[in-house]
Structure 1
């Protein structure tokens, strides 16, 4: 999850809101292509506009079409637009044959009746790690297969920690992390940076602490939730974290860490390339749970899905394309390109063999959970916005963590009625 966004709360609301821009929706759906087998055109949508046809990803999509005996017409959208355009396309009867979507969008599209169960189109997901597959599982059925996963951990600046005498291996729980931050600040250095912005990025970054305290998203105002928000409030009030976290995106938070001034940064797998360019020695540790162990972290990444088509004969070829894209050989190439952890143990082992620095990320992904898992589905966006609002209110000093979360719980309850 590079830039998580707020998702549409209901399919009907999104379609209504976007009705005025329907004419702008790019990409031809399957109704624009001939139906059937070899030599025909199949449409494919993904959220990777940064990769053109000459890129490794673009070539792989083309290759998978060729192997299935068809031409694939690929259209890339920004993540923000893709889910909304999918809802419009389905309403108009021209959904693409294959679509790659951010995992929290899956439940919204399922509720709208847009996606097929993997079992209905002959796809196999048995090798996929259960917690990663869970982000696209609704009512016990998977509606896609993950292309890979990314998540959050703590980067640390080895030079800063060495200078103040902090061993990153000593960080095992919240108390030891806070002790390390105090020592860093007392030595005149900067502590930790993260994103607490009032968008889905803020919720995404708060979740490891919320879940790491034992919090449940159906009860935002629990003592566990209050403990997590109080931790962040303590860090900001004590100067262990900067006030800028209130406006930081995950990108600007990283830019702060990249200055070399901070000891720690909460950020994602997708920053690995930037970390190599930062100019200082860094390391990665799991986000600690309140009382120790690795905190559950939210799963980011996309699912390859097969949208519902009027011509069901197309599903066989669509499934061949998906199977090709998610084969072990292709996953290794794709997840290396995207800085993702593979969704299968077999490919994860190959990734770590090729790059030992990925091992802490594989550990983090093993502890990850989907934001829409545990039956939340489309309830998640209704919970997430009040949660990030509570974080903003508490860290800005507007409310106590307890009052902010109490108000958030009330708002989340109203939003689900």
Structure 2
């Protein structure tokens, strides 16, 4: 299927070039004004808090360069299908903001352009955190630029927690000691689906198990750890119904002394709960102290008729001084290590430190990541509901192996 799509995209691009549609400047060959650059993204429209900062960033590019840019918002669930179909029809965008873990599949399908030569001339790849940069690589070539990052760490109430736990044994004992009537020691999302697997995935990584290895000593240890926390009251059994927003609410209202959550909630807590006394620490470690990376990459569409201006926009969006303004509004972390102001904010500095130890699905796992995470959450739910750890892990492993085609 990918071979057919690649051929279709290539033929469409060739047809455009033969028709004289490809360009690289502000005017067409006939002296007419260039068509607006097109950018597709799934953050949200201009009225949404997740979308407006992106529109504002692009507006600054328009003001500084005189280039017109048309932004199209496509909901996440429809994004990849729409982008792939448009590329096959020769009508994709100039710039596509895609999920970092879809980069390899989009490159192999011929949907996005190889940026290797541009990146080598640019020379700024050394500023990016390694795990994020690895998501842009396919067979030794570069197909995207990391746009931003998000990661998970431990939030803790400084009026309740003097020293945050540094190991998972300490996390269990500290959370249990903090549990009181109406309060848990720890809050984390455990809701059905991929979102509710994040805490378990992090715990598995700490135990030395990959997310595809739930039926392993490390996977069993992670499940048993969550079971002990529920049994001790350190973690409310209700966490199985909590989204990440719910976990934040538990922490913000003092119903949990700690939470594992992403950097998304830094500004939210600061703005919505100004009296709450809290800080952030890196995740507890065991074999490792890895976090889970969440990220997007900026790419150039394979059928873009103006790749030079598309690259100019991408490189503008990654200027450290622009990211310094954009990222706090977007409530995310920089994907690179030279953005001014990050080190000066003690909370964001911790997240930047945590990003040095980040896990992301590789090219083989990425297309099946949601299925794998959903299976992990199923094992967690079974364990908390009373199924023996070994049985829950075995059932989940069978689902994972089937999703990966290794059964």
Q: Do both proteins adopt the same fold according to a TM-score greater than 0.5, normalized to the shorter chain?
A: yes
Q: Is the 8 A contact 1:152 1:205 kept in 2?
A: no
Tell me the SS of whatever aligns to 1:351: coil
Q: Is the 8 A contact 1:138 1:377 kept in 2?
A: no
Partner of 1:164: none
Is 1:351 the equivalent of 2:342? yes
Q: Which runs of 5+ in 2 are unaligned?
A: 4-16, 27-32
Could you list the per-position Cα deviations for residues 76-132 of structure 1 after superposition, in whole angstroms to 9, with x for gaps in the alignment?
233333233222322332211101122223233234331223215557433212122
Partner of 2:10: none
Partner of 2:286: 290
Tell me the SS of whatever aligns to 1:107: helix
> Would you say how many aligned residue pairs link Structure 1 and Structure 2?
375
Q: CA deviation at 1:342?
A: 1.3
1:249–1:139 distance in 2 versus 1, CA, 3 Å = farther
Q: CA deviation at 1:356?
A: 2.6
Q: Is the 8 A contact 2:206 2:285 kept in 1?
A: yes
Q: CA deviation at 1:231?
A: 0.8
Q: CA deviation at 1:377?
A: 3.4
Could you list the per-position Cα deviations for residues 231-288 of structure 1 after superposition, in whole angstroms to 9, with x for gaps in the alignment?
1121123221112211111111211222112111111101012222323201111110
Is 1:90 the equivalent of 2:87? yes
TM-score (norm 2): 0.84
Is 1:366 the equivalent of 2:356? yes
Q: CA deviation at 1:410?
A: 1.8
Tell me the SS of whatever aligns to 2:260: strand
Out of 246, 251, 257, the position equivalent to 1:263 is 257
Partner of 1:332: 324
Could you list the per-position Cα deviations for residues 33-88 of structure 1 after superposition, in whole angstroms to 9, with x for gaps in the alignment?
x7523132111012222545995532321333565663211112333332332223
Q: Distance in 2 between matches of 1:195 and 1:111?
A: 34
1:112–1:68 distance in 2 versus 1, CA, 3 Å = farther
Partner of 2:374: 385
Q: Distance in 2 between matches of 1:359 and 1:346?
A: 12
TM-score (norm 1): 0.82
Q: Distance in 2 between matches of 1:85 and 1:247?
A: 32
Q: Is the 8 A contact 2:150 2:264 kept in 1?
A: yes
Q: Distance in 2 between matches of 1:338 and 1:310?
A: 27
1:3-402 matches, within 5 Å, as: 35-36=22-23, 37-38=25-26, 39-40=33-34, 41-49=36-44, 51-52=46-47, 55-65=52-62, 70-119=67-116, 121-122=118-119, 124=122, 125-161=125-161, 167-169=162-164, 171-185=165-179, 189-276=183-270, 277-278=272-273, 279-290=275-286, 295-309=289-303, 311=305, 314-347=306-339, 350-353=341-344, 355-370=345-360, 372-373=361-362, 375-397=364-386, 399-402=387-390
1:329–1:186 distance in 2 versus 1, CA, 3 Å = closer
Q: Is the 8 A contact 2:101 2:363 kept in 1?
A: no
Could you list the per-position Cα deviations for residues 269-309 of structure 1 after superposition, in whole angstroms to 9, with x for gaps in the alignment?
01012222323201111110136xx6111111211111211
Q: Distance in 2 between matches of 1:310 and 1:260?
A: 51
Q: Which moved more, 1:405-414 or 1:49-58?
A: 49-58
Q: Is the 8 A contact 1:159 1:280 kept in 2?
A: no
Q: Distance in 1 between matches of 2:286 and 2:201?
A: 13
Could you list the per-position Cα deviations for residues 338-392 of structure 1 after superposition, in whole angstroms to 9, with x for gaps in the alignment?
2222122211x53222x2332211111111122x237533243342232222222
Tell me the SS of whatever aligns to 1:192: strand
Q: Distance in 2 between matches of 1:174 and 1:203?
A: 17
Tell me the SS of whatever aligns to 2:269: helix
1:46–1:209 distance in 2 versus 1, CA, 3 Å = same
Q: Distance in 2 between matches of 1:136 and 1:387?
A: 26
Q: Which runs of 5+ in 1 are unaligned?
A: 1-9, 13-29, 162-166
1:252–1:415 distance in 2 versus 1, CA, 3 Å = same
1:113–1:387 distance in 2 versus 1, CA, 3 Å = farther
1:179–1:204 distance in 2 versus 1, CA, 3 Å = closer
